[in-house]
């Protein structure tokens, strides 16, 4: 098949997931045309079945907002005119599903059919998508996709509840390449301190203030903290750490060494206000970390209470502290959770999940 994949090119989970999916689909024999405003961070173009098409949006001073959707739909049409495209798979509904619909309509006038698969990732529904300024267009784009998938049961339910749509939504969870993590785990540096890590885009939805208060409460010289990622509340976090003399901490920024950092981590902390899935938590599980997360969104589908870690009410700082302290003081529990985490991560292995997308494509084209 010839497949167009549209995604965000940044370090966010939806872009990472879309990129890994495209690589694997190419290995399965499909030709993948990635479309984004810049090359996705994890995209490798060494496979000649993987191509990248950049969407250029020329600056014009009349526009307060440059029309990205227009350029994107034009690019999709351009690619479909010169390649025998079988389907388009868009990741994150806004504005990708909308642009795909426009491209489909334009292509109809040239007698080209372009089936649309839309994967909902999270805030495209729970935060941005349901905003009154966007929701009609988002609902329309979902209704008019040929197939809609969601990365968790919780996100599927949120979509049905917010948009009152009657469209079938297939749940296909996010995935990781367990083997890649296994290799890193085997060659991982040992540490004599307990390492607690957090990975996110430091947006308010990640509950950074609560995270910092937890770190302050548990802080002692036997612990080390890793903060990975960049975003709007990173400055605030770095400031907080300075003000409160938390010295046993490292901010890694957007890192290409997540697997190395996670493999030496004991506890992964993710107190998100919303989290449709939590791809970073899955990466932590594959790296044998115990999880202490909020109980929001899809996190309970990943983190099993008292088995792979603990689930805590989103802002209950004392409970997070209690659970982390419990794990630090009970080494056998910590080891058991780490082991169970890795075991559970294998259910989300790339080899098991990507075939579900592949089957869906064939079903769509039947
Ligand atoms: O909405 C975001 O935070 C961005 C988005 C992304 O592009 O990374 O994250 C969402 O999609 C990820 C991949 O499916 C999920 O693992 C994240 O849980 C989800 N984020 C939220 O729901 C907050």
Band (144; pLDDT cuts 50, 70, 90) = very high
DSSP 55: P
Q: Name the average pLDDT for the chain.
A: 96
Distance 331 CA to ligand 1 centre (A): 32
**Rounded percentage of the chain residues whose pLDDT exceeds 90:** 94
Of 4-13, 107-116, 279-288, minimum mean pLDDT range: 4-13
pTM over 0.85: yes
For position 89, what pLDDT does the model report? 98
* Nearest protein Cα to ligand 1, atom 23: 275
For position 210, what pLDDT does the model report? 98
The label of the residue with tokens 């905003």 reads 131
- Tell me the domains of the chain and their CATH numbers: 2-175+350-365 (3.40.50.2000), 178-348 (3.40.50.2000)
For position 134, what pLDDT does the model report? 95
Residues whose beta carbon lies within 6 Å of some atom of ligand 1: 8, 12-15, 17, 92, 121-123, 151, 174, 205, 274-279, 297
pLDDT, tens digit, 9 for 90 and up, residues 187-217: 898 888 999 999 999 999 999 999 999 999 9
Q: With 80 as the cut, is the pLDDT of residue 11 above it?
A: no
For position 189, what pLDDT does the model report? 84
Distance 223 CA to ligand 1 centre (A): 28
User: Which atom belonging to ligand 1 lies closest to the Cα atom of 17?
Assistant: 13
Distance 244 CA to ligand 1 centre (A): 30
CA angle 295, 331, 301 (to 5 degrees): 20
Mean pLDDT, range 331-342, rounded to an integer:
97
Reading the block at residue 96, the tokens are 């990708």
Distance 112 CA to ligand 1 centre (A): 32
- Ligand 1 pocket check: which of 14, 299, 302 to mutate, most ligand atoms within 8 Å of Cβ? 14
Reading the block at residue 101, the tokens are 């619909």
User: Which atom belonging to ligand 1 lies closest to the Cα atom of 280?
Assistant: 16
Reading the block at residue 298, the tokens are 């899809």
For position 166, what pLDDT does the model report? 86
Q: With 90 as the cut, is the pLDDT of residue 101 above it?
A: yes
Give the phi and the psi of residue 167 in degrees, each rounded to 5: -70, 140
Residue 25 · residue 49 · CB < 8 Å: no
Reading the block at residue 231, the tokens are 């975003």
Distance 200 CA to ligand 1 centre (A): 10
For position 160, what pLDDT does the model report? 96
- Ligand 1 pocket check: which of 175, 203, 233, 277 to mutate, most ligand atoms within 8 Å of Cβ? 277
Distance CA 32, CA 21 (A): 10
Reading the block at residue 208, the tokens are 């950074």
For position 353, what pLDDT does the model report? 98
Distance CA 160, CA 155 (A): 9
Mean pLDDT, range 335-344, rounded to an integer:
98
E strands, the chain, where? 2-6, 31-36, 50-54, 87-91, 116-120, 147-150, 169-171, 194-199, 223-228, 249-253, 267-270, 290-294, 309-312
Mean pLDDT, range 56-84, rounded to an integer:
97
For position 12, what pLDDT does the model report? 85
For position 6, what pLDDT does the model report? 98
Distance CA 271, CA 275 (A): 9
Mean pLDDT, range 320-349, rounded to an integer:
98
For position 190, what pLDDT does the model report? 82
* Total Cβ atoms within 10 A of residue 252: 16
For position 183, what pLDDT does the model report? 87
Mean pLDDT, range 8-37, rounded to an integer:
96
């Amino acid at each position: 098949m010839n497949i167009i994949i549209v995604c965000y090119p940044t370090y966010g989970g939806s872009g990472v997931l879309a990129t890994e999916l495209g690589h694997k689909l190419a290995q399965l024999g499909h030709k993948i045309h990635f479309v984004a405003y810049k090359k996705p961070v994890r995209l490798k173009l060494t496979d000649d079945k993987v191509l990248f098409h950049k969407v250029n949006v020329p600056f014009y001073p009349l526009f307060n907002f440059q029309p990205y959707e227009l350029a994107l739909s034009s690019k999709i049409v351009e690619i479909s005119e010169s390649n025998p495209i079988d389907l388009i798979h868009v990741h994150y509904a806004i504005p990708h599903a909308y642009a795909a619909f426009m491209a489909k309509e334009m292509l109809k006038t040239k007698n080209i059919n372009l089936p649309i698969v839309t994967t909902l990732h999270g805030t495209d529904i729970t935060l941005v998508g349901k905003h009154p300024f966007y929701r009609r267009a988002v609902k329309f784009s979902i209704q008019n996709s040929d197939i809609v998938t969601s990365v968790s049961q919780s996100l599927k339910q949120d979509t049905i509840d917010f948009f009152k749509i009657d469209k079938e939504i297939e749940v296909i969870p996010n995935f990781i390449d367990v083997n890649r993590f296994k290799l890193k785990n085997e060659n991982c540096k040992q540490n004599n301190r307990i390492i607690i890590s957090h990975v996110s885009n430091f947006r308010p939805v990640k509950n950074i203030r609560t995270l910092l208060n937890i770190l302050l409460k548990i802080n002692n010289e036997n612990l080390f903290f890793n903060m990975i990622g960049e975003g709007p509340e990173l400055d605030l976090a770095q400031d907080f750490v300075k003000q409160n003399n938390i010295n046993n901490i490292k901010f890694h920024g957007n890192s290409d060494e997540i697997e190395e950092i996670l493999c030496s981590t004991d506890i992964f902390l993710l107190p998100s206000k919303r989290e449709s899935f939590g791809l970073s938590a899955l990466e932590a599980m594959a790296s044998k970390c115990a999880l202490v997360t909020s109980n929001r969104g899809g996190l309970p589908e990943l983190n099993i209470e008292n088995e792979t870690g603990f689930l805590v009410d989103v802002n209950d700082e004392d409970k997070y502290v209690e659970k982390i302290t419990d794990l630090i003081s009970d080494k056998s529990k910590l080891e058991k959770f780490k082991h169970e985490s890795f075991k559970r991560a294998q259910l989300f292995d790339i080899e098991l999940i990507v075939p579900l997308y592949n089957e869906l494509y064939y079903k769509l084209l039947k």
